[in-house]
Amino acid sequence: MMRLMPEEILALAEQALIRNDVPQRQAEIVSKATLAAELRGISSHGLQMLPVYIRRVRGGGIIPNVQPEIHKVSDGLYKIDAKGGFGQVAAQAATELMIEQLRYNNPVVVTIHNTNHCGMLAYYTRQVAKHYALGFMAANTNPNVPAFGGAEKVLGTNPFSVAVPWKDDCILIDMATTSIAKGKIYQYEESGKTLPQGCAIDKNGNPTTDPRQAINGMLLPFAGHKGYAISIAVELLAGLVSGAGYSKHTYSLHSAVDKQQNLGVYMQAIPLKPLLDKESYEKRMEDFTSIIKESKKAPGTESIFLPGEMEQEIEKSCLMNGIEVRIALINEIKQL
């Protein structure tokens, strides 16, 4: 392992992308989203993704020299055509559009179609929350998950994120609708570890803890039929309603490098000022979070954390002390 400071990770990522014909502004956007994931300890969406993106650029699956096309449908409702480009570029354009509308205390919904993998969703919803607003984002992915009771890939890992202002940051939820994120399966494989029970089934529908069999097989939704239902909701919002691909009409991030993924995104920003003045909001949040954090602890539990709080602590440490990255990954990126 090698420890890199945040600015070194940014420089490494930007240089790798620019040398593969990605325009500098787009390279900056993708690199910042990549760094954000590394800082929060979500390495499955960090530097690990760069070789995948570069192979997709070279293969034609990501078109790097296009700009997202924004269409205003009605007041507070927008559609973005990502033109087959980087998902991060389209998602950042949507985020900046929503933040602009928040200046006027307007709720806004943005859908994105014709896009690719956009990285960690929390990166975008957190930006919204910093403007005293609730941020929501859902994104569909290519099928890796069976229907509840099924044994065929029909749904993606379909993550969603919710961010709500809290103190100088936010309560930040970001999760896949599967028991484990697909990117983490590859980390288990690389480290030679077995998966937790109940995360995956093989291609024949049998339970497995072997990462390779899980990659070739299927992931399972969290909480059985409940995770399945939420995954359906994400697929409908991000894929079907947005005009993007859905279910089998999308392509793999890792294997179909010559095909644009045809994914979709649903984003929403709700200003809190019209609902509650900031002073009242902060008092109520202080009371609410105290109830949660000061509640009776189970045996062996030292502290109760709110969603995103542990990642905030990881981020503070990484900003000061740097981030551990596999040397083999650094060499791969440099070679690319």
* Overall CATH class of domain 63-178+221-271: alpha beta
Of the candidates 145, 332, 306, the residue with the CA atom closest to the CA atom of residue 231: 145
With b meaning 16 or more CB within 10 Å and e meaning fewer, what string describes 36-73?
bbbbbbbbbbbbbbbebbbbbbeeebbbbebebeeeee
Q: Are 239 and 114 in contact (CB under 8 A)?
A: no
Q: What is the pLDDT of residues 193-207, one digit of tens each?
A: 999 998 999 988 899
pLDDT band of residue 78 (cuts 50, 70, 90) is very high
| 79: CB partners within 8 A, 6+ apart | 70, 71, 73, 110, 111, 112, 113, 242, 243
Q: What pLDDT score was predicted for residue 163?
A: 98
The pair of three-digit structure tokens given for residue 167, joined into one six-digit string: 């103190």
Question: Is the confidence at residue 182, as pLDDT, over 90?
Answer: no
- Is residue 213 helix, strand or coil? helix
Residue 15, number of CB atoms within 10 A of its CB: 14
CA 182, chain centre distance (Å): 11
Mean pLDDT computed over 214-222: 92
Predicted pLDDT at 2 = 94
Which pLDDT belongs to residue 8? 97
Contact between residue 145 and residue 157 where contact means Cβ atoms under 8 Å apart:
yes
Burial of 294 (0-12, 13-18, 19+ CB in 10 A): exposed
pLDDT reported for residue 48: 94
pLDDT for residue 187 is more than 90: no
Domain residues of the chain, as ranges?
63-178+221-271
Sign of CA dihedral 144, 142, 185, 161: negative
- How sure is the predictor about 181, in pLDDT bands with cuts at 50, 70 and 90? confident
Cα dihedral: 94, 95, 98, 100 (round 10): -110
Confidence of residue 191 (pLDDT cuts 50, 70, 90): confident
Our separate counts of H helices and E strands in the chain read 11, 12
Tell me: the pLDDT tens digits for 101-117? 999 999 999 999 999 99
In 172-277, alpha helices (H): 182-191, 211-216, 225-234
Q: How far apart are CA 190 and CA 211, in angstroms?
A: 9
Q: What pLDDT does residue 323 have?
A: 97
Question: Confidence class of residue 255 from pLDDT cuts 50, 70 and 90?
Answer: confident
Q: Can you tell me whether residue 109 is helix, strand or coil?
A: strand
Residue 332 has pLDDT above 90, yes or no: yes
- Mean pLDDT over residues 246-255, rounded? 95
pTM comes to 0.95
The answer to whether 265 and 114 are in contact (CB under 8 A) is no
As beta bridge partners, residue 163 has 135, 172
Give the pLDDT score at 47: 97
pLDDT, one tens digit per residue, over 153-174 is 999 999 999 999 999 999 999 9
Write down the pLDDT at residue 297.
97
- For residues 177 and 237, the answer to whether their CB atoms sit within 8 Å is no
